[in-house]
Amino acid sequence: MQSKGNISSLLIRLKFSAMMALDGIGSNLLRTFLTVLGISIGVAAVVSLMGIGEGARKSIVSQFESLGENVIVIKSNAENITFDAKEAEEIPSRVTGIQYTTPVVYTQDTPIRWRRDESKMNIVGVNEQYPQIKDHKVLSGNFFTSLHVKQRSPVVVLGYNVANNLLNGRSPVGQTLKIDGINYRIVGVLAEKGKDKGDGIDDKIVIPYTSALKIANTKDILEIWAKSNSSDDAELAMVQLGRIYQRKVGIGSNIRPGNGQEEEGMEPDMPMEEPMPEEPSPEVPGGKENVFEKGEEPLTITSLNNLVKEADQANRIMTVLLGGIAAVSLLVGGIGIMNIMLVAVTERTGEIGVRRALGAKKEDLLIQFLLEAVYVSIIGCVVGIILGAWAVTIVSKYGLSAIVSFESIRIAVFVALSSGLLFGVYPAINASNLPPVEALKRQ
């Protein structure tokens, strides 16, 4: 019975202390408002800045992911290093884990004519495996086939925005589009990737790479895309491709194999055709451009998975830095709580003396003033979260990527409540340690 009475007495004292704390923050609304304002600004800064950083991170990562998962890009940066179609076709049989490959040919500002309208557009030349490599679905019609590629058929697949602009949203499949003076039949329309995603494929058109070579008036292929079955296979393929192309380049190339170790049981090196001899150049002995003098690598092999990881890590660091900068304002708000609470203790010494004289214990006063600090922090958190979310919404309307993340809210609330408790302890201890007689004298 005695223990139940002690618990009941403790609950009554806690309830009374909580009510006194509410009365304390309501007795001087201006002082409470200024304290809440400091915490609110700090919380709003953390939520909004971390929201902007997190939004930027997700936007950049999604842009890289839109280029395709487990994709490896083999790119020549020197005119004397080129690929051929047969070389690209042999990669899946030579490299473990590679499932699809395609040569890639780009043409810039190619003349396009649609009925009476003329324009210039960028073209991407690939083979029939493009949808599987880039994880890009066909929205309408079909993608061209291997037969189209072999026969250099004048067929075209349109990016989403291009197709949408031709017939105001209606499918243009079956219509004819003139490219570089030749009629091309539209066989399909690619699904939408989104703004700034998929390397802008929504605003481009796709044709067989054999036709693109003809438009570009060249036989040289400077880029190959390869698709692995998984991220682990992509890492292994990077190592094997590094060995294969190291001999072609002559020395080490800019390759990121992941673990940096060669795997046992690799397929033998792919036979490479030696570059055709060029006419001697008066500037460079032997007629070959020395790209190393420009600080460039002649050939790069890049895993898009690695680019996604690096972009994600870099932007996470930026988000943490933004949050850290914003957290400084929360620290200032916490110091403001301590200053206001110290003033409150000084102003309310008479009240403290009366309570002590009526039997209030040190613990009661300690809890009361701590609760006042916590109340102010909680109100500041709620107002700050609302302001921060509103700021993120405003930023998003002006085109920047920003989101209200649970992580930013959690961090802001934790720091705000922690600072409220931390900086409220000292004033609370001061209030609880005031002797009753001394407190009554100051009244």
Q: Which is it for the CA torsion 394, 395, 401, 404, positive or negative?
A: negative
Per-residue confidence (pLDDT) for residue 275, from 0 to 100: 42
Give the position of tokens 């701590």.
370
pLDDT in the model for residue 263: 40
Instruction: Spell out the residues 6+ positions from residue 1 whose beta carbon is closer than 8 angstroms to its own.
Output: none
pLDDT at 124: 94
SS3 175: coil
Distance CA 275, CA 277 (A): 6
Per-residue confidence in pLDDT tens, the chain, 443 aa: 556 656 776 677 677 677 777 777 777 777 788 778 888 888 888 888 888 888 877 777 777 777 777 888 898 887 788 888 888 888 888 888 888 999 999 998 899 998 888 899 999 999 999 999 988 999 999 999 999 999 999 999 999 999 988 888 788 999 999 998 899 999 999 998 888 787 889 999 999 999 999 998 888 899 999 998 888 888 888 888 888 887 766 644 444 444 444 443 344 444 444 444 444 444 433 344 444 444 467 788 888 777 777 777 777 787 777 777 777 777 777 777 777 777 766 666 666 666 666 666 777 777 877 888 888 888 888 999 999 889 888 888 876 777 887 888 888 888 888 877 777 777 777 766 766 656 555 55
Yes or no: say if 159 and 128 are a contact pair by the CB < 8 Å rule: no
Alpha helices in 304-361 (DSSP H): 304-347, 349-357
* Cα-based distances in Å from 176 to 143, 376, 436: 16, 69, 96
Contact partners, residue 46, CB within 8 Å, separation at least 6: 323, 326, 327, 329, 330, 384, 388, 408, 411, 412, 415
Which residues lie across from 138 on neighbouring strands? 190
With residue 52 as reference, give the H or E element that holds it.
Answer: helix 29-65
